[in-house]
Structure 1
């Protein structure tokens, strides 16, 4: 199940919030924003929209009292709240007031059961004897409100131990021996595997579960972990270690509930250092969230932002600095924009953090591949586009830039770099022109690659595109930020002359190898961007531009 859009009207912080354009393939939705920006209020909206009165649920009477609902949920007490969640394939959950049960669509019941939320207050300092396993199947141990503590872990521990005991003992009643390897593979190995991935496989500092003890009338159950040469009861672990174990055990015990579901977990990064943040989120998204489900989480942690930015099936929703007294629409943030990192590490302090390095702003995600080259004392930072690249260095001579050439003439490049010597411009149309340059591919030493044939194929395709590309030159140049500083554009005659030429190094400067070149002829070589960016030829070309 995947969410398509959300609307919250007169709900907590929001006058009228719309979240739209979430792609169907999205597996992770990351809400970012400063403290108090409204991220957790969205999760309250999920809980509000999907809560169903249940005699065994905690705090249900509190939720259903009209006066309490008005006080907690309504932004303006005299105006009714309204929440709508649209699910892909034309399904919808719509609720006006929590206590007006008659307003709920009975057909939406199955959808509502598939929303599973966890509040940020979920640390259980020690295991106690207060479990109620009947609550698990109904999710009746969920916090009613997102200001309440999430105490599910107690039930998870007892269920985990019960499941292992059942797997060990049931075969005895059939006159069989328990298959301890299968039990290990189902209950122990998944937890220890994730703990090793998150905390590392160094036995001196990593954790793994090695024992458990059943509860008795006089003492609670125990989970015993090994760390180095020590065996440590759960109660004695650090807050950060408990945070990870609480999350993982919940996924193990309730894995069936998480199928085809919307899972929303507030501040999963609580108490975690930066080095663990990305690893934890990656492990949960890629191992514990089924492909049929979607995880929503809120954070301003660097590791979470970095993972979401680099992951194709993740989107980032930015709640920062928005006036929710007015209607607002939030759509997925462009992940090429460096601004998504500002909450965790403002660009203004990049130079301070990397004072020993040359900071070079470049376009889109090219920084990932430029940094792979390992140019000494140089750090590449990706921003949205050539405009943002130029603006980063326009008034700051301490930083450098590297923008695509696009349709800039030789003369214009000379003038621009004379005025802004820290603003560097690629020799060729774009980043891909370097990757797919005949000399760069030849540098890989590929068996069966014919450089002359390949160069002739580029010329052939260029000739076929002349009539299509040339009319776009003038309009494309109108967007260049450099021309808004008083620098006068030259005639495009030299660009046209170069592009229509059959001389390779003349036309190749303006032939877009990213969008205009059909790479079918290169398919047998299984070339990747990472491999193409690893050659000495590529590195030498970029180094020349930066010296």
Structure 2
């Protein structure tokens, strides 16, 4: 179940708002906008529908009774209409299309932004999660369902351990671990990073009794930490994950709406949290709506193919508004998280350079203090579109299979685009001169060069077959390259055993076996490989 269109009328701050054109593929819908822009009002609309919709034969309508002042604008009756991917419509209008689904509103599950439970209390109700009966009375109220989630989590494990005893069987502890323990711990690692020593992992639990509350005990290294003593950021993540584990059946074929999941999390954790929830915990037949100002959330939603961004910023609430998802190439969505003036102050004196394949962190590490700041792009096409739209920025893209004369032609047409001399970024960090500078006693430069040459010759037939196909993808440069001359100079270069002749066209990432790269990576990190003078000088020379 996924929403493709939403209409609000006289609802809270909106006189008339339509959000339409949401692709059926959107597993995530991210609402962005400044404080007071109406993001939470969308969730109030979902909650309004959840509480007031009833089924009436051919269509679905909202009861006329119990419309409180909280939802009205200008004392007029509020309107909320929703359209789903299967054509189902629900809402206030009695002329909605037939095809209602009984119980559809039971699959609207929301969580407010006020959900941090500082201490687990002995008040859990294991029956409440089954029917979502423990939802707060209003979307602005505190959401304390975590206490019920903890009680249910402990009860599920206890039942799985004890039930077989009365049948004379042994408990399947491996299945219990796979169902309840490993999913939580894996997600904690994916979100917080690190390993099982440096990141919190669920270690044990304690049942409640008359004197004590139930406990979830986590470990970090040799330390054991009660949930109550975790940081707010750690609690935020645990609360969300445990809710998905306990209520996973509810979330199937559901509309899930969670306000401000990014509270207390730094930028890198924001992105990893949203990715983990969307990829791991939201079922494929469900849809997650969330609201955020966070840079990490915006960045993930912009890059994810199954996500849509809805920008509610600076809307006039008193006139009709029609909104569609923001185009993926629109960089303006970042302004909410990092305003242009702030970014300009931070980057004053720096030349901005867009690089492909998310290699910005490596370039920034290599050229720290050299007056350049590198920005990420998903691929070479995004680099091209960015520098074409903004000529104040530079761009670096891989050479791939461009001839020397084609590079000159492209540079003449796009002066702010730089093309690497070697095939790709990996050719630079694994270049024999770059590794030699690190002073590794076990490294023999000549043997290494001969090994690369041998690998090239062994795979030469495959490489030559790929060239024509690859060159056909350079559509953005069709007016700068001469396909009638084909790739004969590249073929001749690859057939040579002179290292600096073939190496610019040999993909170290694709054709040099990982088996031979691994000893280098066992000795050095990528950070080590980009800090050399050799690497730094080559990139600075390219940018000048």
- Give the TM-score normalised by the residue count of structure 2: 0.71
- C-alpha distance in 2, partners of 1:112/1:150? 19
Pairing 1:310–2:308 present: no
Q: CA deviation at 1:199?
A: 2.3
Q: How does 1:244-393 map to 2 (within 5 A)?
A: 244-354=237-347, 357-360=350-353, 366=356, 368=358, 376-377=367-368, 378-381=372-375, 389=387, 392=390
Asked if the contact 1:12/1:72 (under 8 Å) is kept, the reply is yes
Residues 468-519 of structure 1: per-residue CA shift (max 9 Å, x gap): 999x98xxxxxxxxxxxxxxxxxxxxx8xx869758799xxxxxxxxxxxxx
- C-alpha distance in 2, partners of 1:122/1:191? 19
- C-alpha distance in 2, partners of 1:202/1:130? 34
For residue 345 of structure 1, give the secondary structure of its aligned residue in structure 2.
Answer: coil
Change (3 A) 1:257 1:372: same
Q: CA deviation at 1:143?
A: 2.1
Residues 224-268 of structure 1: per-residue CA shift (max 9 Å, x gap): 222343322222222221111111111111111111211111000
Name which of structure 1's ranges 26-35 and 334-343 shifts more when overlaid on structure 2.
334-343
Which residue of structure 2 lines up, in the alignment, with residue 91 of structure 1? Answer: 88
Residues 273-331 of structure 1: per-residue CA shift (max 9 Å, x gap): 22321121111111111112111111111111121122221121111122222222221
Q: CA deviation at 1:13?
A: 1.9
Which residue of structure 2 lines up, in the alignment, with residue 10 of structure 1? Answer: 10
- C-alpha distance in 1, partners of 2:311/2:343? 21
Asked if the contact 2:354/2:360 (under 8 Å) is kept, the reply is no
- C-alpha distance in 2, partners of 1:380/1:20? 35
For residue 144 of structure 1, give the secondary structure of its aligned residue in structure 2.
Answer: coil
Q: How does 1:42-61 map to 2 (within 5 A)?
A: 42-52=42-52
Asked if the contact 2:215/2:226 (under 8 Å) is kept, the reply is yes
- C-alpha distance in 2, partners of 1:324/1:92? 24
- C-alpha distance in 2, partners of 1:336/1:289? 25
Asked if the contact 1:95/1:104 (under 8 Å) is kept, the reply is no
Q: CA deviation at 1:526?
A: 11
- C-alpha distance in 2, partners of 1:282/1:108? 30
Which residue of structure 1 lines up, in the alignment, with residue 176 of structure 2? Answer: 183
2:155 to 162, 171, 182: 162
Change (3 A) 1:209 1:391: closer
Pairing 1:72–2:70 present: yes
Q: CA deviation at 1:461?
A: 7.8
Q: CA deviation at 1:370?
A: 7.1
Which residue of structure 2 lines up, in the alignment, with residue 424 of structure 1? Answer: 416
Change (3 A) 1:424 1:152: same
For residue 109 of structure 1, give the secondary structure of its aligned residue in structure 2.
Answer: coil
For residue 269 of structure 1, give the secondary structure of its aligned residue in structure 2.
Answer: coil
Q: CA deviation at 1:347?
A: 3.5
Change (3 A) 1:186 1:392: same
Which residue of structure 1 lines up, in the alignment, with residue 32 of structure 2? Answer: 32
Residues 79-136 of structure 1: per-residue CA shift (max 9 Å, x gap): x21111111111122136xxx9x99999443221111111111111212222232222
Change (3 A) 1:451 1:356: farther
> Which blocks of at least 5 consecutive residues in structure 2 are unaligned?
55-61, 399-405, 425-451, 490-507, 515-525
- C-alpha distance in 2, partners of 1:87/1:53? 15
Alignment root-mean-square deviation, CA: 4.8
Q: CA deviation at 1:425?
A: 4.6
- C-alpha distance in 2, partners of 1:290/1:35? 30
- C-alpha distance in 1, partners of 2:342/2:128? 49
- Give the TM-score normalised by the residue count of structure 1: 0.70
Q: How does 1:497-536 map to 2 (within 5 A)?
A: 502=485
